[in-house]
A and B are shown apart, each in its own frame.
Chain A
Amino acid sequence: MKDVVVTPEVAKEHGLTADEYARIQATLGRDPNITELGIFSVMWSEHCSYKSSRIHLRKFPTKGPRVLQGPGENAGIVDIGDNLAVCFKMESHNHPSFIEPYQGAATGVGGILRDVFTMGARPIASLNSLRFGRPEHPRTPFLVEGVVSGIAGYGNCIGVPTVGGEVFFDECYDGNILVNAFTLGVVRHDRIFRGYASGVGNPIIYVGSKTGRDGIHGATMASGEFDEKSEEKRPTVQVGDPFTEKLLLEACLELMKTDCVEGIQDMGAAGLTSSTFEMASRAGTGFIMNLDQVPQRETDMTPYELLLSESQERMIIVARRGREQEVLDIFEKWDLDAAVIGEVTPDGIARLLMNGVTVAEVPIAAVTDEAPIYDRPAERPAWQDDLNRLDLSALPAPSDLSESWLALMSCPEMADKKWVYRQYDYMIRTNTLVAPGSDAAVLRIKGTRKAVAISSDCNPRYCYLDPFVGGMLAVCEGARNVACSGAEPIGLSDCLNFGNPERPEIMWQFRSAIEGISKACEALAIPVVSGNVSLYNETMGKGIYPTPTVATVGLLEDADDRLVSWFRAEGDRVFLLGGDRVDVELGGSLYLKEVHGRVAGVPPAADLDHEKRLCAFIKAAASKRLLASAHDLAEGGLACALAESCITRPDGPIGAVVSNPFPESVRPDFALFSENQGRVLVSCGPANVAALLEAASEHQLHISQLGTVGGDAIVIADIARLNVAETHKAWCEGFANALGFGE
């Protein structure tokens, strides 16, 4: 490798454009050698440099009274009081998971866990948001099996519960699935660590697994489109070892109780290179590194390979000078490799040596701060107008509405995901107060009265039809989901999955979605504290729907205020919040897709002021213990939300009889399945009705009494009726049936 002469062609093979290569030559005042070219190519890849997205990401509101750490670190941190904070981030592992689903998903979980514990936090829960192609696509069942068992294999072994997420299917993901993993940890304010290589003369210590040749150029792979040769990229996918990561987690948390650590960062994409360059960049320092000292599991590795390997379960620690031995001792106790491989220097230069010979010497700022930033052209595509056209009156009315309703309940998007989450250990660490299946998962914070609620959300159909509105609605739904668990939303992490940014319509989608998310976050006072961008989600030129997934974190001061989405007791009264929203909104709806086979129209409108009052009201009603349940109306509208509240009840399904909140002039199928936003179905005991109505009026929130819980049928006026047992069965079996998994 070291004999390779760097030419513009070699640079091109590394994913660098002619301009970018010229820029490298200008910065160095010479041609880079192959090792240096490798460094620039990974650090300037889309995945590491955010070169197409950076100027847009600045629009996010990232500040707030609770924010202790915003974007730019390994994960964001939000204060929850009593000297405690939550540390969280969501990240994509889309490309590797499509090539090699088990290892791709497993290492996605491993990577996000490291991002959280590198900040000093003990991870307490994970979520994942999964998007697959059509269930009937020949590759989909294989990908679902692989991804789910990969997440299970890693998360279960390391002992962090996987408590929820999303599973979504659409043709647009046939050639490019999405695997977004989220982890949340708890950290004391005085034990927060950051990725800084500060203190000239401080030792740089490598800890964790040995370095091999796996995953070389993973970040570059993740920054390109797929084609028919994608199978050949399998060797760029890393292999996960959750056992080693468990040791690494315990060893790091043990080390962080000492005061030996100046800075720490995990080696994720672009491995040793990105971790050391980023740490030095943040601290404004330089470093010298002896690559021959890096623990290696293969022989004759070149500097290029050592720098670009993405072997998993590795961290870089900058320790305080003179404390090296204490660090090494802790890692030895946990049977992990640890070696001093370099030291911090004052001059802002990275000097990399192999057996005493300099193999690369580059200014750190040139690689990091001065990485290219692109303001790529963005333009609303001409076809968007056609897409937004929808003549509802031309839509044939189904002959049997109850049948359509049942079909929606059993479609894979709506059906029970127990096949998935039963493979995840969602109870370990005994904090899971609300397990998968409700609007959000709720976890207690031991040693306090507090709990956190977490949810991941995005409706890609809405984002496709209008990325700005879709972005706003993703935030609103996340906020509503944590509010429906009794929590106040306090922070958010996003994972922005889009197609090729070099196409103006993709850039328009990207920019619009960010503007939508930003607007909603500002209105709801939810700071964006961390996130990740995944571009080039395309195969053979076909892009995915814009999919800006948001993970919302909510806080309950008292865990006993928590709510679930299912009805509790026979005789409880059912109410609809926001039921005065009666304009039919079927654009991008589940009904339109599943029953009529169309994705068209404009998505439902977002009313941010209403959403804010809605969330505040539910939280207030929960803390007064007025509510028995709360469930957000999402895909499938009132009909599907009502049926879910009936059949997801752990003590066994139960019926309900409710009235139709829409005027009689509205077509019955539209009334059932219209996806108007800002609506929540709540229930309460008869004794609380008066207090609930009063509280709603205090919050200036529209509330209408719809009916009563009980019986063996789910009934909406005289429009439609489902048998509870039959619906429960169809909902339970829908997922496995659609994917052909059988029992």
Chain B
Amino acid sequence: MKIAVLVFPGSNCDHDAYHAIKHVLAADAQFVWHKEGSLDGFDGVVIPGGFTYGDYLRTGALAKLSPVMGAVRRFADSGGPVIGICNGFQILLESGLLPGAMIVNESLKFICDYVTLRTETARTPFTRSIPEGTRLRIPVAHYQGNYFADDETIRRIEGNGQVVFRYCDAGGNVTPEANPNGSIGSIAGICNEKGNVLGMMPHPERCTEPEMGSADGRRLFESMLSHIKENAR
């Protein structure tokens, strides 16, 4: 089993994702440079956070043109698990692998803080061992994490059960106060129709060890690894 951690110019959470998978979960992780055209031999893909190309254009708008994104599309089409975190989520949106777009946080400021998420579905490879309704403490760190889509798209993804995480308060209630960035429907993460591609603004790779303030992020990676193991059988 081998997990690809993509590296674009300006990726900066690549080391953290690698550390979480390789050292905390003791699975095989490898960095894959964005100019690679193939993901053959990999069983899962992480698109880490960062500021690819400095985010000087729209976030993710240039990264989607990298050769590796063609390989990501083929990997996703064949049902392989793909998770895009923060800037990785933004890249998945720009690539059209997930619907919607990101706009600047309602506060117009970068936000780095712990938030609470409510798990809305266990249907993805990343949440299969996290029962619906489970609350997770996970940090956010972004400037453009305000999820936006037209009404039609929102109706569709809600109807299809594509909303995977919502921001909530400590008691699990989805409230405007618990929404850090103004995202429609307090959406923190969504998946594609098939469920194998997940994009989320919060950073599970930052909280896989208790000394980091929470180990809840570990559960997403454990889910992914157990999914891969099961499908390999």
Contact = CB atoms under 8 A, between A and B. Distances in A.
Interface of A: 149, 152-153, 156-159, 241-244, 246-247, 334-335, 421-430, 432-433, 435, 444, 446, 559, 743
Nearest to A447: B23
Contacts of B143: 156
Contact of A426 (B12, B107, B112): B112
Nearest to B180: A422
A335 B34 CA distance: 13
A243 B51 contact: yes
Nearest to A145: B109
A743 B106 CA distance: 11
A164 to B, nearest CB: 13
A241 B112 CA distance: 21
A159 B7 CA distance: 14
Contact of A158 (B12, B107, B110, B211): B12
B112 A157 contact: no
A422 B12 contact: no
B141 interface: yes
B19 A430 contact: yes
A429 B112 contact: no
Contact of A427 (B50, B139, B209): B139
Interface centre among A153, A423, A428, A559 (most CB of B within 10 A): A428
A244 B56 CA distance: 11
Given A158-B12, A430-B19, A425 B112 contact: yes
B43 interface: no
26 contacts: A149-B110, A157-B12, A157-B54, A157-B55, A158-B12, A159-B13, A159-B50, A159-B51, A243-B9, A243-B10, A243-B51, A243-B56, A246-B9, A335-B9, A422-B109, A423-B112, A427-B141, A427-B212, A428-B16, A428-B141, A428-B206, A429-B15, A430-B19, A430-B209, A433-B212, A435-B213
A423 B109 contact: yes
A242 B111 contact: no
A351 to B, nearest CB: 36
B158 interface: no
The 9 lowest CB-CB distance pairs between A and B, nearest first, are A159-B12, A243-B54, A157-B51, A425-B141, A423-B110, A425-B112, A430-B16, A152-B110, A243-B10
Contacts of B141: 156, 425, 427-428
Contacts of B23: 446
B111 A423 contact: yes
A422 B141 CA distance: 9
Interface of B: 9-10, 12-13, 15-16, 19-20, 23, 50-51, 53-56, 107, 109-113, 139, 141, 143, 203, 205-206, 209, 211-213
Given A241-B54, A247-B9, A430 B212 contact: yes
B12 A428 contact: yes
A313 to B, nearest CB: 11
A242 B203 CA distance: 21
Given A334-B9, A423-B109, 17 more contacts: A157-B10, A157-B51, A159-B13, A241-B54, A243-B53, A246-B12, A246-B51, A247-B9, A423-B110, A427-B203, A427-B206, A429-B15, A429-B16, A430-B16, A430-B20, A432-B212, A446-B23
B152 to A, nearest CB: 32
Contact of A156 (B110, B205, B209, B213): B110
A393 B113 CA distance: 47
A163 to B, nearest CB: 11
A224 to B, nearest CB: 33
Nearest to B205: A430
Contacts of A427: 112, 139, 141, 203, 206, 212
B51 A242 contact: yes
A422 B205 contact: no
A425 B142 CA distance: 8
Nearest to A156: B110
Nearest to A560: B211
A126 to B, nearest CB: 13
A425 to B, nearest CB: 5
Interface centre among B107, B143, B211 (most CB of A within 10 A): B211
A301 B227 CA distance: 59
Contacts of B16: 428-430
Nearest to A419: B109
B55 A422 contact: no
A274 to B, nearest CB: 27
Interface centre among A157, A242, A244 (most CB of B within 10 A): A157
Given A335-B9, A430-B16, A430-B19, A422 B113 contact: yes
A36 to B, nearest CB: 37
B141 to A, nearest CB: 5
A427 B208 CA distance: 13
A298 B55 CA distance: 24
A433 B207 CA distance: 11
B142 to A, nearest CB: 9
B110 A425 contact: yes
Nearest to A446: B19
A241 B213 CA distance: 32
